[in-house]
Structure 1
C-alpha cells in the first residue's frame, strides 16, 4: 500500500459526502463514527482507505476516489453541471453521488435522450472525448422522410455539413422506411448537432433522437428517463481499455 491510501478520516468522509469537516467533527463527538469497530475520538486521525473499516451510525462507508455513472438522460435536461435557466443532469443525482462532483462526458442536446456517462475521472473523460480516438457512438432516431440506401451510401462516404465540414464515414442501418423512418446510426466523432445535421444534408429532418451506446458501453434498458446507476467494475474496465 502507498501513502496515497492513507488519509485523514475527516477528509475521506467529506469527499464521499457524509458532511462538512464541522459536521463530521460533531458526528465524532456524538460517538457515531467507528474505525475497525473502535469509536473515533479524533476526526483528523489517519486511516488506510483500502483496509480499514469505517462506519457511520453502524453503516459501512465505501471510499472511492472516482465515480462512474450511467444515466438515461431525459428530454428537456441540459448536459451540464450548471445552467441559469434549465435543469441540468447533475441535479438528478442523489447527494451521495453529487458529492463527488461528477460531470457529463460529452453532451447530448436538450431534446435528445439516452446514454450519458458522468464521472469525476478527468483522464478517462479526456480519452473518450479525444478526436483522435474515434470512439463510436450509436443513436436510434425517427426521421421525417423516406430514408433510402442512397442515404446509407452517402453516410458511408461521409456527408458535407452546412458549414462545409465533411464527416467521417458513418454506419446507417434502416429499421423502417416510409414517410417517417426509423434508423440506427453509428458515428465516430461528436460535432455539434451532428446526427441532425447529417440528415439535413440529405434533405431529411430528425424528430426523435436517443443515444444507445458509447464505445463498449450500452444503455441499460431498465433505466427509465432520468434514472441512473453506477457502472459495474467490468464496464469501467471496458471503458478504460477503449
Structure 2
C-alpha cells in the first residue's frame, strides 16, 4: 500500500494534507522519517507514526449512535441533517452508512459501518435479527393486542411475522400506554403500522437494541462511540470478517 493512502485511511486528512505532513517530516516508517507519499509499506507489519503517535490501519469501522429525532438515516440529504453529520471525519472518509433505518421522528440505537457484508447479514430476513423498541402509545394496549402481535399483524400490503408485545405500563386516566415491541423484520414504518392496526397510535418510538447490540444507558442522545471489542465479538456470530 502507498504511504499516503495508508495515512488517509487512518483519518489524518486528504491526500494533499498528508503530503504536507510528509514534507514537514512528521511521519516515520519503522522509526525513520519518510517524505515520499509513493513509498510502499506493509500496513500489517510496518510501524507508521505521525508526530510520534503510532497509527493503526483499519479496513472496517463501527459506530454506535444514539440517533436523535429530526435526523434522517441517510448519508446525504439536501434538506435534512443526516446521521453522518453527527459523526467524525474518519466516518465520512471511510464512507460508513447506517445498517437499516430509523424514521426521522424515531430515536435510539443505530449502527453505522462500512462493512457491507455485515450490514447485509444483519438485515437479511433469513437471519431473524431481533430489534427491540420502546413505544409510548395513545390508547390502552391490552391482552388482545398482545395476542394479535404474537399471531402476526395483518397490514394492507404485508402480513407481519409473529412479534412480541410487552405492556410496561398503562395510564387509564390519560388513556396511554408504554410498551416494548420485539420484531425480526424492518419494514417501512412497521412498528407504527402494527400499533395502528390495533387502533392505537405511537407518539414516541425508541430503538433499544438490534441483535446483540444494546443502547448504552450512558450514551446521550445525539452522541456516538466506536463499538467495544466485546460488542464486536457479539457480531462474530454472523461469520463475517470484521477486521
Structure 2 residue aligned with 1:40:
34
> Which of these residues, 85, 88, 108, is aligned with residue 82 of structure 2?
88
SS at 2:126 equivalent:
coil
The size of the alignment, in residue pairs, is 235
Q: Is residue 184 of structure 2 the alignment partner of residue 191 of structure 1? A: no
SS at 1:46 equivalent:
coil
> Which of these residues, 21, 45, 56, is aligned with residue 15 of structure 2?
21
User: Where does structure 1 differ by over 4 angstroms across 4 or more consecutive aligned residues?
Assistant: none
Structure 2 residue aligned with 1:4:
none
Q: Is residue 162 of structure 2 the alignment partner of residue 166 of structure 1? A: no
SS at 1:43 equivalent:
coil
Deviation per CA, 1:79-118, whole angstroms, max 9, x where unpaired?
0001110000000111133221100000000000000000
Give the direction of change, closer, same or farther, for the CA distance of 1:164–1:28 in structure 2 (3 Å limit).
closer
**Structure 1 segments unaligned to the other structure (5+ residues):** 1-6
> Any conservation in 2 of the 1:148–1:177 contact (CA below 8 Å)?
no
Structure-1-length-normalised TM-score: 0.93
User: Could you tell me how far apart the structure 1 residues matched to 2:47 and 2:84 are?
Assistant: 29
Structure 1 residue aligned with 2:201:
205
1:37-116 alignment, distance < 5 Å = 37-116=31-110
Structure 2 residue aligned with 1:216:
212
**Structure 2 segments unaligned to the other structure (5+ residues):** 239-243
User: Could you tell me how far apart the structure 1 residues matched to 2:106 and 2:55 are?
Assistant: 36
> Any conservation in 1 of the 2:97–2:112 contact (CA below 8 Å)?
yes
Q: Is residue 128 of structure 2 the alignment partner of residue 143 of structure 1? A: no
